[in-house]
Amino acid sequence: MELELRHLRTVRAIADTGSLTKAAAALGLAQPALSAQLRRIEKALGGPLFDRDHTGARPTALGELVLDRARVVLPAVSELQEEAVRFANASAAVERFRLGGTHGPLLGGLVDRLAAAHPTAPVTTYTSWSVSEIASLLVDGRLDFALIGACGESPPPLADRLHWQVIGVDPVFVMLPEDHRLAGLPELELSDLSGECWADVPGDGCFADCFTTACARAGFTPVSVYETDTSSVVHLVQVGRAIGLCRATFPPAPGLVTRPLAGSPLTWRHLLGRHPRSPTAQAAAGAVSGHTRSAYAEAVRRSDSYAPWLAAHPRFGPVS
């Protein structure tokens, strides 16, 4: 039997989980099938790779040797596959822009600017609530650029493999119906909203936990939180069902106002990402970065509540 990559993955799974039972579950195999496969691998390599008893499986000296090589070979092959996909995608494409993003306020502005500046270049978009999914598509070479957000100082996804540029830092504002009892105030205390229901968009970052923590510091627990799409959040606020949470750059909408929270207990970073070895992204990085910054600046200018507030709070806004 010739040794294959899948055999190295099997050996690594057994070592990582410490048992054939757990490794079989992780690999989606029946344990007898995994045991038989391990015996074939050990026969091909000339000896036992694991000492096994009722407490689990531990690598032998030969097993450690194989694992040391596997930890080098498997990432190298994975990187080779990703590099080949990125190269093939870049080589086969005419000038194009494949953008990914969460449902933030900047993606539309970036598309508009790219379409105007490059009228013959296709511009495609892919949106998802999951920043992890968007990052994975960048790594796989299926996107050229990504616009996402990150709560507070939390790291962006796959930060060790992707290049992330901070475009701007916003406080999180609250979205109120225009006839709300507090809508006329220039700034709100979070505690003043303790009896309200809330609405925001979903995501796989830490924002929900950070919001709950901010409420606890303000002395209350949210009555309820509706996680839904942006249009539904706006509707729930317009009809008085909930208070919305939004980036300060959220565009104006009829029937509602946005207001800052005193002390800015929640913040949001707008990030532009690309793969550092993507030929397409490297060639267009400067232009796309410039257009994204312009889209962000325009979003700030459109906000009646954010633009004047920003003048007095210089630690927020665009990042150079």
Nearest to 167 by CA among 152, 147, 151: 147
Average pLDDT along the chain: 90
Whether 49 is in a domain gets the answer yes
Per-residue confidence (pLDDT) for residue 282, from 0 to 100 = 86
Q: What is the CATH number of the domain that holds 13?
A: 1.10.10.10
* pLDDT (tens digit per residue) in 28-78: 888 888 888 889 888 888 899 899 888 889 999 998 998 898 888 888 888
pLDDT single digits (tens) 108-123: 999 999 999 989 889 9
Count of structural domains within the chain: 1
Query: At residue 215, does pLDDT exceed 80?
Result: yes
Sort 68 into a burial class: Cβ within 10 Å, 0-12 / 13-18 / 19+. exposed
- Classify residue 281: in a domain, yes or no: no
State yes or no: pLDDT of 94 exceeds 60.
Answer: no
Tokens matching residue 268: 């949001």
How far, in Å, CA of 246 to CA of 259, rounded?
10
Among 75-79, 188-192, 281-285, 290-294, the least confident range: 75-79
The answer as to whether 294 is a domain residue is: no
Residue 28 counted as domain residue: yes
263 found inside a domain? no
Confidence (pLDDT) at 87:
60
CB 171 within 8 A of CB 264: yes
Residue 185 is which amino acid? L
Closest CA to 245 of 221, 219, 216, 210: 210
- Please report whether residue 11 resides in a domain: yes
Can you point out the beta strands (E) in the chain?
50-53, 56-59, 97-101, 123-127, 145-151, 163-177, 198-200, 225-227, 243-247, 256-259, 267-274, 317-318
User: Helix crossing, 279-302 with 107-117: angle to 10°?
Assistant: 120
Q: Are 19 and 5 in contact (CB under 8 A)?
A: no
What whole-number distance in Å separates Cα of residue 268 and Cα of residue 139?
Answer: 23
Asked whether residue 289 is domain-assigned, the answer is: no
**What residue numbers bound the domain in which 21 lies?**
5-90
Asked whether residue 56 is assigned to any structural domain, the reply reads yes
**Which stretch of 78-92, 108-122, 191-205, 210-224 has the lowest confidence by average pLDDT?**
78-92
Nearby residues of 31 by Cβ (< 8 Å), 6 or more positions away: 20, 21, 24
3-state secondary structure of 272: strand
